[in-house]
A = this chain, B = another copy of it.
Amino acid sequence: MAFRDDGAEKARVLVEALPYIQKFAGKTIVIKYGGHAMVDPLLKESVMLDVLLLHSVGIRPVLVHGGGPEINAMLKKVGKESQFVHGLRVTDAETMEIAAMVLVGKLNTEIVSIINRFGGKAVGLSGKDASLFLAEKKPMRLPNSRGEMEEIDLGYVGEIYQVAPDLIETLLDRGYIPVISPLAGGEDGETYNINADTAAGKVAEALKADKFLLLTDVRGVLRTLGEPESLISTIRREEVTVLMEQGVFSGGMMPKVECAIAALAGGVGSVHIFDGRLPHAILLELFTDGGIGTMFT
């Protein structure tokens, strides 16, 4: 820190952060990392520095990352053509294998690399390690062309029914930062692909996390679509139904809101949906009074 010149100013900034640091010390915070922040190299570093700063002031951060466009890129590279049923992509065995390789062998390893290069002690996990997640095939029923409900087999797309957080807690207690890929094993020994938001929410529930942060590519929940200044800073759980009826939660936002509600119901302290495209978005959300996105409590 080039404190020589503007040192006093910078020291003041540190001291201003003190109340936030004290407030969050010892808290467990689960972060769903995905979207644009996983693509832009500068943002990647920015996120990991935020995570490290949280860790260095006594917070216990857990990362769950998504897959992004990298899986598609790899599928294309190996010439794998996807099958579609009712317009939905099927995750067959080969697709699953490639997804696993990209998630665990490439993306997770990269995140771990960045954190450790900056002096942290990150440990990469998938939901299969120590049977962290147990999953089963996600049931899906859609109306077919004749309007009848039909069971659709999307392959290795799973749904978590059990989380065993002991490994994560062991690692957090010893000062490691867990980084988790959204894969899960089934009792049948198969590997299932899990929606990353859902996986992160399940981890937050199992850990009884104080906060669950969802990095997205939007500002948060807007009262009026397209008007950033209509951002709703805080939504209490009992307000959700009314807002839903008012149509406030647009298409892409709906699953995130459901994920947030489920996490709150599962014992998480608060859920934050905010814009991961801003540099140091995590610090901005946590270390300012109102935050920069939408907090569900």
| Chain A interface residues toward B at CB < 8 A | 1-4, 7-8, 10-22, 25, 49-50, 52-53, 56-58, 77-78, 97, 100-106, 108-109, 112-114, 116-119, 121-126, 128-131, 166-167, 170-171, 174, 176, 183, 185, 189, 191, 278-280, 283-284, 287-290, 292
Contact = CB atoms under 8 A, between A and B. Distances in A.
B130 A53 contact: no
- Greatest chain B CB density within 10 A among A14, A53, A125, A183 is at A14
16 contacts: A1-B17, A1-B288, A2-B288, A8-B280, A10-B287, A11-B279, A15-B50, A15-B53, A18-B52, A100-B106, A101-B102, A104-B124, A105-B106, A121-B167, A122-B130, A124-B128
A287 B11 CA distance: 9
Interface centre among A8, A21, A128 (most CB of B within 10 A): A128
Nearest 6 CB-CB pairs, A to B? Answer: A105-B105, A101-B105, A3-B288, A11-B280, A101-B101, A104-B105
Contacts of A12: 279-280
A197 B103 CA distance: 26
B106 A128 contact: no
Contact of A18 (B22, B25, B53, B189): B53
